[in-house]
Amino acid sequence: MKRIAIFGICGKMGKAISKELVKEEDIKLVAGFDKRSTGLNAGKILGIEKTDFSVTDSYDEIKKKNPDLIIDFTAADIAAKSITWAIENSIDIIVGTSGLQRDFLKRIEKMAAKSNSRVFIVPNFAIGAVIMMKLSEMIAGYFDNCEIIEMHHDKKQDSPSGTSIATADIISKKIIFNKKRLKSNEKENIEGSRGGYYEGINIHSVRLPGLVAHQSVIFGARGQTLLIRHDSIDRSSFYPGVIMAVSNIDRLSNFTYGLDKLIELK
């Protein structure tokens, strides 16, 4: 039985995942961390029967619940503090929060290596999105250029998304398409029209109500384009990936980045 604390339990992702986790026979939800609705029974937050714990914003209260694992769906600044705290207290942590900076992740990797904790950073729990990234890596070398369009709900705080950054990272291991954001003969009539730039790839972010999480990776070559697209139309799409992460974290190293480490394409 794995004892789990959900950080960000009052958020949309925290609620959606927690409602499913409570149904698992080999998992026990023992704590919920959030800055909102503190003191309120978690069952009321989740719309289920009364639970044996209330929402808290105290790390000390979380520690009293003795969780084996934290699953974090908060914001980048809170997640950064929580990751550090989990490592210092020898608690494993799976992080679905995006917006964590590369320098911070490098520091955490070194910190985790000297600890008894496992830190698993997952930019996207949707298995289809992970396969999209892996396919992009496989075919990148056959094309002349690539751009990414990512679209998310209007409440998402960071741009570009962690998934688009992870996709650009994995493609850049095969090929660097562009040395700078604009080509020598390009001109933007409106600044930013060509999107952001990361690891040789232009990334375009869309934020609109009605969206959940969507990404298109567009490859171009002479006379042809290839589009790989993934759409999460409901937050339930993330749950199989969460369970995959929970089920496999005990066999991972102290620091792992990306659900792709658990998925093999043959």
Of 53, 58, 45, nearest to 18 by C-alpha is: 45
Residues 110 and 25 in one domain: yes
Contact (Cβ atoms closer than 8 angstroms) between residue 197 and residue 178: yes
Residues 31 and 116 in one domain: yes
Average pLDDT rounded to a whole number, residues 4-11 = 97
Torsion angles phi and psi, residue 68, rounded to 5: -80, -25
Residues 110 and 22 in one domain: yes
Query: Catalytic annotation on 63?
Result: no
Q: pLDDT averaged over the chain?
A: 95
- At 122-175, the pLDDT tens digits run 989 999 999 999 999 999 999 999 999 999 999 998 899 989 999 999 999 999
Residues 85 and 134 in one domain: no
Q: Residues 2, 44, 156, 174: which is the catalytic one?
A: 156
Within-domain flag for 257? no
Last residue of a domain, one of 84, 106, 121: 121
| Residue 92 burial (C-beta neighbours within 10 Å; 0-12, 13-18, 19+) | buried
What confidence score (pLDDT) does residue 157 get? 86
What confidence score (pLDDT) does residue 264 get? 86
- At 17-60, the pLDDT tens digits run 999 999 999 999 999 999 999 999 999 999 998 898 999 999 99
Within-domain flag for 51? yes
Query: Catalytic annotation on 50?
Result: no
CATH number at residue 134: 3.30.360.10
Which residues fall within 8 angstroms of residue 110, CB to CB, at 6 or more apart? Answer: none
Residues 135 and 117 in one domain: no
pLDDT grade for 266, boundaries at 50, 70 and 90: confident
Within-domain flag for 263? no
Residues 88 and 25 in one domain: yes
Please state, for a pLDDT cut of 70, what percent of the chain lies above it. Answer: 100
CATH number at residue 29: 3.40.50.720
Of 106, 104, 150, nearest to 129 by C-alpha is: 150
What confidence score (pLDDT) does residue 102 get? 87
What confidence score (pLDDT) does residue 99 get? 83
Q: Residues 152, 204, 214, 230: which is the catalytic one?
A: 152
First to last CA, the chain: 32
What confidence score (pLDDT) does residue 120 get? 98
Within-domain flag for 251? no
- The predicted model scores a pTM of 0.87
- At 194-251, the pLDDT tens digits run 999 999 999 999 999 999 999 999 999 999 999 999 999 999 999 999 999 999 999 9
Q: Count of domains in the chain? A: 2
Residues 24 and 47 in one domain: yes
Range of the domain at 107: 2-121
Last residue of a domain, one of 98, 121, 144: 121
Residues 158 and 179 in one domain: yes
Last residue of a domain, one of 91, 121, 151: 121
Of 236, 232, 230, 229, nearest to 210 by C-alpha is: 232
Residues 9 and 115 in one domain: yes
Residues 91 and 180 in one domain: no
Residues 11 and 116 in one domain: yes
Residues 115 and 154 in one domain: no
Within-domain flag for 266? no
Which residues fall within 8 angstroms of residue 1, CB to CB, at 6 or more apart? Answer: 26, 27, 28
